[in-house]
Amino acid sequence: MSSLRIDRLVKHYPIRTGFFGTRSLHAVDDVSFDLAPGETLGLVGESGSGKSTVGKCVTMLEPPTSGHVMLGDVDLTTLSYNQLRPLRKKVQIVFQDPNDSLNPRKTAGETVLEPFVLNGVATGAEAQRLTAELFEQVGLKPEHMARFPHQLSGGQQQRVGIARALASNPDFIVLDEPTSALDVSVQAKLIQLLKRLQADRNLGYLFISHDLSVVGYLSDRVAVMYLGQIVEIGSTRQVFERPRHPYTMALMSAVPSANPLERRERIHLAGEIPSPIDPPNHCRLVSRCPFATDECRSRPISLDVVEPGHRVACIRSVRGEIPVPEFLFASSVVHAPRLDAASIGLDLE
């Protein structure tokens, strides 16, 4: 099975300003990562940091401005529409809002069956049988097949979305906040389902969420985005327990501790997230970072290795000039309350 490799991905949206001017909104700027079969990479960051745009580019729903989306040796960005079709099914996406992916005029059964026909896998009774099998695998009952989306609960709709993605027999699934709109108990069941499906099918997940407890529970590695860039990437333990980027430190300091007696020192970020329109070349956190110096405003950023598998885009941290906090992180916390992000100046919703 091939790996998925994202190389220097850029997505800019042109923005009209006045009569003549256009400026560029940098939704994603120079993002690289890879994802192995069976692995989960968590993608976290404040609202507007570019997570969904990465997900849409990875699945080629949005053409990248530049950069490469490599599935094994094949660069998906160089393919024509017809060449892309058979490969598209290998990388599926499930959205936060099932209304984005479920057709309100199709029954759940039709929605899940369709990819079997479109991909030439099966038709007629055989497609029906495969659909029924998927319904069972995602914990839906046979009678749900005849229902329309509005006749299903949020959790059931999301199971239909997952079943539809699985019908293409993908190697990778982008999960863009798949449980964020659901009650905590429903959310926990879906997370267990995703874990089981991954183990059964060796699926690679790009798991996008602002819920750090869930990301920590599901992910092997975590990438942290800020204003269109990855500022830190490493194993879940490295990023959650010994974060090296001041932005990650602020995020992680807000995750509820597994031990209620242990009080975490909160790391606060001042000010608002700056505009993504024509952002500077240097570190984008400088306006909010308590550790920023003039040097941070004069050097282009790069994601540098601080220990094996762990990279950070902070010149001061790489030189060991910023104290590294030690957070205890229990990866079994799924029911933890949502983090109290507003109190440390983050906008995660």
List the one residue from 40, 52, 92, 219 that touches ligand ADP (CB under 6 A). Answer: 52
Alpha-helical (H) ranges within the chain are: 51-58, 81-88, 98-101, 108-118, 124-137, 154-167, 184-201, 212-218, 236-241, 246-253, 315-318
Q: Which is nearer to ligand ADP, 47 or 83 (CB)?
A: 47
> Which of 45, 243 has the CB closer to ligand ADP?
45
To Mg ion, the closest distance from the beta carbon of 177 in angstroms equals: 6
Given 47, 78, 123, 151, the residue binding ligand ADP (CB under 6 A): 47
Q: How far is the CB of 218 from ligand ADP (least distance, A)?
A: 18
Residue 75: enclosing H or E segment and its boundaries? Answer: strand 74-75
C-alpha to C-alpha distances, 302 to 156, 193, 232, 282, 283, nearest whole angstrom: 43, 37, 10, 9, 9
Find, among 224, 293, 284, 307, the residue nearest to 51 by Cα: 224
> How many positions of this chain bind ligand ADP (CB under 6 A)?
12
- For 104, other C-beta atoms within 10 Å of its C-beta total 8
- Establish how many alpha carbons lie within 13 A of residue 185's alpha carbon, considering only the half-sphere containing its beta carbon: 0
Considering CB distances under 5 to 8 angstroms, the limit depending on partner class, which of Mg ion, ligand ADP, none binds residue 298? Answer: none
Distances (CA, A) of 92 to 26, 162, 205, 283, 339: 24, 9, 10, 33, 29
Residue type, 332: S
Location of structure tokens 């983090």: 339
Residue 137's contacts (CB-CB under 8 Å, 6 or more residues apart) are 163, 166, 197, 200
Cβ 176 to Mg ion shortest distance, Å: 6
Q: Which of 284, 283, 262 is nearest to 275 (CA)?
A: 284
Q: How far is the CB of 51 from Mg ion (least distance, A)?
A: 5
The minimum distance between CB 46 and ligand ADP, in angstroms, equals: 7
Which CB sits closer to ligand ADP, 49 or 179? 49
Q: Tell me which stretch binds ligand ADP (CB under 6 A): 29-37, 46-54, 100-108, 309-317.
A: 46-54
What is the Cα–Cα distance from 130 to 227, expressed in whole angstroms?
42
From the list 12, 31, 49, 218, which residue makes contact with ligand ADP (rule: CB under 6 A)?
Answer: 49
CA 143 to centroid of chain Cα atoms: 32
Q: Judged by CB, which is closer to ligand ADP: 50, or 170?
A: 50
Contact flags string 218-257 toward ligand ADP, x per CB under 6 A: ----------------------------------------
- Based on the shown chain and the rule CB under 5 A, indicate whether residue 209 belongs to the binding site for Mg ion: no
Which 8-37 positions form the footprint of ligand ADP (CB under 6 A)? Answer: 13, 25, 27
Q: Choosing among ligand ADP, Mg ion, none, which partner's interface includes residue 179 (Cβ < 5 to 8 Å by kind)?
A: none
Task: Give min distance, CB of 345 to Mg ion, in A.
Answer: 20
> Measured between alpha carbons, how far is 59 from 173 in angstroms, rounded to an integer?
9
- Residues 45-104 touching Mg ion, rule: CB under 5 A, are 52
- Footprint of ligand ADP on 260-319 (CB under 6 A): 276
Q: Is 294 helix (H, G, I), strand (E, B) or coil?
A: helix
Cβ distance to ligand ADP smaller for residue 50 or 109: 50
Residues at the contact surface with ligand ADP, assessed by CB under 6 A: 13, 25, 27, 45, 47-53, 276
Residues at the contact surface with Mg ion, assessed by CB under 5 A: 52
